[in-house]
Structure 1
Amino acid sequence: MNKTELIDAMAADAGITKAAAKKALESFLGNVEGSLKKGNRVSLVGFGSWSVSQRNAREGRNPSTGKTIHIPAKKVVKFKAGSDLSDAVN
């Protein structure tokens, strides 16, 4: 499912226009992104939670040349599925 298909499904399920569904989805995504940028965790009980972790710098290898390269430290977003979502998939 891509973003357009999700918007169509949300509009049909909620009985709203596609424009309203798009606005709601973009608001949700923007608020999740904003919260994660601040370093906060976003949790939807039963669905899952997003958090930000720091990945340390490390040495890696270029697969084509075999040369050692430096991989810088960075922040990464992690998602952990909630029990309801996990149960629904299994």
Structure 2
Amino acid sequence: MNIAELAEVIAYRHDLPKKAARVIVDSVFAVLTEATIADREVTLSGFGKFRLRTSSARVGRNLRTGELMDIKPAPRISFAPAKSFKDKLVRR
């Protein structure tokens, strides 16, 4: 499912115009993005947690040449599903 499809489902379920639903979906993702970039943990009860993490520096290998190379630390987004969400996945 992509953002347009998500907005379409929300529009259908709440009897909204598709454009209004798309604005709402875009707004939600913008707020989640801003909060995560600001290094705030975003907890959506019943869904999960998003947080900003930094991967450690490590040594990797160039697959074409086999040469060792240093990989710098980099920001990463992690997601931990809520227990209720995990339970729904198990029952699937």
TM range (shorter): over 0.9
2:5 and 2:45 mapped to 1: Cα distance? 24
* 1: CA distance, partners of 2:5 / 2:42: 24
Q: Which runs of 5+ in 1 are unaligned?
A: none
CA deviations on 1:54-90 (whole Å, 9 max, x unpaired) are: 1121110011210011111111100001112112222
1:37 deviates by 1.0
> How many residue pairs were aligned?
90
Q: Which runs of no fewer than 5 residues in structure 2 stay unpaired?
A: none
Match of 2:88 in 1: 88
RMSD, aligned α-carbons: 1.0
**Fraction of identical pairs, as percent:** 27
Using the size of structure 1 for normalisation, the TM-score is 0.93
Misfit runs of 4+, over 6 Å: none
Q: TM-score, normalised by structure 2?
A: 0.91
Are 1:8 and 2:8 counterparts?
yes
Q: Which residue of 2 aligns with 1:19?
A: 19
Q: Distance in 1 between matches of 2:40 and 2:27?
A: 17
